[in-house]
Amino acid sequence: MACMYNTDMKRAQYICLEGTEGVGKTTQTKILVDTLRARGFRVLQTKEPGIDLVPLTMVLRGIMLDNKYDAEMTRPAREFISQAIRSIHLERLIVPNLYEYDYIIQDRGILSGYAYGEACGNSFANLQLMATQNVDSADEGKDVLPLRAELIYDKVIYLRGDSIKGLLKAKAAKQEFETGDAMESRGNSFMEKVSKNMDEMSSRFKTVRIDVDSKSIEEVHNEILTSLELE
């Protein structure tokens, strides 16, 4: 059972791994979680947008990202769905567990939301406002999250790689949706814009940038451990 926000207890380190398609976020998230658990830490592994631990977010993820809905989807509608997923994720999973674990390790988060959302045509000001409103709503009366959305993570690990090669790698992998992923389907120029956004917007977070091109999975993992002072 989740605690009643006893802030005398030690708060989990909330770590988010970020990057464009195919740079190894999911692989590195799993390896990091396995390493931490092997060292005896209590770890909650999660992701955005959508996680099986909160089933409704997976329903919304399908509507937002499945290409079969893309012809009917509007730009504001996609963003509202993205923000709804984040709201549910924060309020139903993250906040209740901040004092139940030593680490919360997340695959994607608000930086991706900003970078992809702006590349889809939404204004950064609106994206930032909605993200902050989600954090404020999830934290209401609990005082366990910072006031600024960009500060909710103790660290953002930005895995920076070639966005075009990464997109090819992601498309070659097993696809989640039979009709394809609506973001991956937007092609190279879109992914280059997302990558540029991440480069620029990552400075708003407590970010450690790790360049992954030409590095092995183990080398990247070791750099992540170093960034978390766990080497």
Q: To 5 degrees, how large is the angle CA 91–CA 95–CA 96?
A: 100
Q: Return d(Cα 82, Cα 65) in angstroms, integer.
A: 10
What is the per-residue pLDDT for 2? 46
What is the per-residue pLDDT for 9? 76
Please check the confidence at residue 43 and state whether its pLDDT lies above 90.
Answer: yes
16 phi, psi to nearest 5 deg: -120, 125
SS3 32: helix
The residue-averaged pLDDT of 116-122 equals: 96
> pLDDT tens-digit profile of 51-94?
999 999 999 999 999 999 999 999 999 999 999 999 999 999 99
What is the per-residue pLDDT for 7? 53
Instruction: Give percent of the chain with pLDDT exceeding 90.
Output: 85
Tokens of 216: 């092995």
> pLDDT tens-digit profile of 176-218?
888 898 999 999 999 999 999 999 999 999 999 999 999 999 9
What is the per-residue pLDDT for 5? 52
What is the per-residue pLDDT for 183? 93
The dihedral over CA atoms of 196, 200, 204, 207, expressed in degrees to the nearest 10, equals 70
DSSP 129-179: HHHHHHHHHHHTTT--S-SSGGGSSSEEEEEE--HHHHHHHHHHSPPSSTT
Q: Return d(Cα 144, Cα 5) in angstroms, integer.
A: 7
- Is residue 156 within 8 A of residue 206, CB to CB? The reply is yes
Q: To 5 degrees, how large is the angle CA 155–CA 161–CA 167?
A: 115
Q: With cut-offs at 50, 70 and 90, classify the pLDDT of residue 147.
A: confident
Element (H, E) at 210: strand 207-211
Instruction: Give percent of the chain with pLDDT exceeding 70.
Output: 96
- Is residue 28 within 8 A of residue 169, CB to CB? The reply is no
Tokens of 8: 């005398």
Q: Which domains are delineated in the chain?
A: 13-227 (3.40.50.300)
SS3 81: helix
Residue type, 69: Y
